[in-house]
Amino acid sequence: MNKHIAVIRGDGIGPEIVNEALKVLDKVAELFGHTFRYTDVDMGGCAIDKWGDPLPERELAKCLSSDSVLLGAVGGTKWNDVPGHLRPEKGLLRLRAGMGVYSNNRPAKIWPQLSDASPLKKSIVDQGIDFIIVRELIGGIYFGTHKTEGDTATDVLQYSKKEIERIGRIGFETAQKRQKKLCSVEKSNVLDSSRLWKKVMHRLAEEYPDVALSDMLVDNCAMQIVKNPAQFDVIVTENMFGDILSDEASMITGSIGMIPSSSLGVTGCGLYEPIHGSAPDIAGQDKANPIGTILSAAMMLRFSFDMALEADVIENAVSAYLDQGFRTADIMSEGMTMVGCRQCGDLIVKNIRKG
């Protein structure tokens, strides 16, 4: 297969971690006979420095004409004082809106080799943590009207049946590919938008009889994620609830550097990025953990390119690397061998093999 990937290295550790993910993609291409063509896109602080704009139109256009986008991270203290509309993160919001990626998919998975890194009790971790949060990304309160009049501020939370249906379907389809358990999270004891959410989800459930749908109030879900995370397979929820719950979920897996994410819209052209930021404190020191980005590349293969086998091969290579006892500084523990960002990428590439 021939695929065109828009590559946003971004700022801070972004270029370092993306380089390692590209090494991995190149090895997969060689092994499976694919061609991955890369186009560099300037976004974030580096684009402000070069073009005076965190995402110039022509850079966005490169992303829109690609088969998918791989992003490192953007931002950093250097751009703290630029005006709000020029902040590096504005480029990211413009990219998400421009691509129409309404479905954010973030796995919360603990690698057995790293179970000590979780802040949860061993007895809870040992039950297994492996679930996905599907978050609606371009609707809800973040995109409603915001206004402040005198001493009163208002933010409007609005969802249409259509918006709920399209993210709901992603939830059901994600569950169909896993353990077939979908938990719909809302606040239907208080909010009208959540009552509509619940109603639409139950109507959709009739179309997916193979998936077991359950409902949970968001406050209870926040407790259950730390009390009994093993109960979850797929969680589907609206924008703000998903924002908060997915940060909580990433924390229980113990390491921000390990977690990938995907954001998808109607076209199949997705945005793939690790969940962490540009880590300016360790930038340029070969200390970053590139695994979140490498696993984001694996998600790209699985979800946008229909290359499940190739994605499995990358995930198995990461697992083998952890089994071999190698660790970057962020997940280092006694008895393990410390490696830098580049060596981590090289060792994972070495582990890439079919079967």
CB nearer to ligand NAD: give 9 or 27: 9
CB nearer to ligand NAD: give 92 or 211: 92
> Is 78 one of the catalytic residues?
no
CB nearer to ligand NAD: give 60 or 201: 60
**Using rule CB under 6 A, residue 254 touches ligand NAD:** no
DSSP per-residue string spanning 320-354:
HHHHTTEE-GGG--TTPEE--HHHHHHHHHHT---
> Is 272 one of the catalytic residues?
no
Q: Which of 46, 73, 134, 138 binds ligand NAD (CB under 6 A)?
A: 73
**Using rule CB under 6 A, residue 75 touches ligand NAD:** yes
**Using rule CB under 6 A, residue 296 touches ligand NAD:** no
Q: Which of 218, 235, 256, 322 binds ligand NAD (CB under 6 A)?
A: 256
Choices 67-75, 96-104, 192-200, 231-239 (CB under 6 A): range interacting with ligand NAD: 67-75
**Using rule CB under 6 A, residue 288 touches ligand NAD:** yes
84-88: which pairs have CB atoms within 8 A and are 24 or more residues apart?
A: 86/48, 86/52, 86/53, 86/54, 87/54, 88/10, 88/11, 88/43, 88/44, 88/45, 88/47, 88/48, 88/54
Residues with Cβ within 8 Å of residue 208, at least 6 apart in sequence: 172, 175, 176
**Using rule CB under 6 A, residue 91 touches ligand NAD:** no
- Which tokens sit at 229? 């995370």
Residue 117: CB minimum distance to ligand NAD, A: 12
Coil, strand, or helix at residue 103?
strand
CB nearer to ligand NAD: give 328 or 351: 328
Coil, strand, or helix at residue 155?
strand
User: H or E stretch including 4?
Assistant: strand 2-10
Choices 34-42, 53-61, 176-184, 282-290 (CB under 6 A): range interacting with ligand NAD: 282-290
Choices 159-167, 235-243, 286-294, 308-316 (CB under 6 A): range interacting with ligand NAD: 286-294
Nearest to 249 by CA among 119, 149, 138, 349: 119
Residue 146: CB minimum distance to ligand NAD, A: 20
> Is 321 one of the catalytic residues?
no
**Among the residues of the chain, which ranges form H helices?**
14-32, 45-51, 57-64, 88-99, 122-125, 161-176, 192-205, 218-227, 239-252, 291-299, 308-323, 341-350
**Using rule CB under 6 A, residue 281 touches ligand NAD:** yes
Write out the residues near ligand NAD by the rule CB under 6 A: 13, 17, 73-76, 89, 92, 256-257, 273, 276-282, 288-289, 292, 330
